[in-house]
Amino acid sequence: MNGSLEMEVLVPQDEIAARVDALAERIAPTLGNDAIAICLLTGGLWFAADLTRALARLGRPVAFDALWLASYGDATVSGGRCEVRAGLQRPIAGHHALIVDDVFDTGLSLAEAVNHVRAAGAASVSTAVFARKPWPKPRPVTPDHVAWEAPARFLIGYGMDLAGAYRGLPYVAAVNEDDSQGAAGSLDNIA
């Protein structure tokens, strides 16, 4: 990635923190004492870390696990299928599961995660995403908790990437379509 990427910061770091705290306040009363947060890797890691800490500050510490799903690779659009690269590491049967992801667009990854966690025997499953983007097609699931309604733009930062780069930015930014095409292909394709 070159240093000349043009981006527009949409959600600065302090606003991310405020949105995560507000979301934790809405989620905390819904969690039982045996809840397990399940982070969808790799993009959900930043949001999951912040959300689980915010829940702990509210007296709702949760156990933690991760599920590694892949539907994008280094492309900017989903390939239309989702593969499980690494499954859950702890028993989930009988527990409440809170699936946590960075961005909700096609819904493919979140739907696969929900199915996977239900099949593992979770007593209940809820979902939380940091950003929900509008989508022109019906999606297989709807997230239960959303921190930010995002525009229909290509986003980077706070876990969201462009061909594997920019995930660690402490803010969410939109990238110009020309910049993203040069790195990984057209944004005009919709899975």
Domain hosting 43: range is 13-150
Residue 45 has pLDDT above 70, yes or no: yes
DSSP for 91-152 reads --TTSEEEEEEEEESS-HHHHHHHHHHHHTT-SEEEEEEEEE---SS--S---SEEEEE--S
**Predicted model pTM:** 0.84
114 within domain boundaries: yes
169 within domain boundaries: no
- Amino acid identity for residue 121 in this structure: G
Q: Which pLDDT score, from 0 to 100, does residue 178 have?
A: 64
Q: CATH number of the domain at 101, please.
A: 3.40.50.2020
Classify 76 as helix, strand or coil: coil
List CB contacts of 125: < 8 A, sequence separation 6 or more: 96, 97, 99, 114, 117, 118
Residue 62 has pLDDT above 80, yes or no: yes
Total structural domains within the chain: 1
65 within domain boundaries: yes
Q: How far apart are CA 115 and CA 142, in angstroms?
A: 13
What mean pLDDT is reported for the chain? 86
182 within domain boundaries: no
Q: Give the tens place of pLDDT for each residue, 103-142.
A: 999 899 899 999 999 999 999 999 999 999 999 888 889 9
111 within domain boundaries: yes
pLDDT category at 90 given cuts 50, 70, 90 is: confident
Q: Give the tens place of pLDDT for each residue, 150-190.
A: 999 999 999 999 988 999 999 999 998 665 554 443 333 22
183 within domain boundaries: no
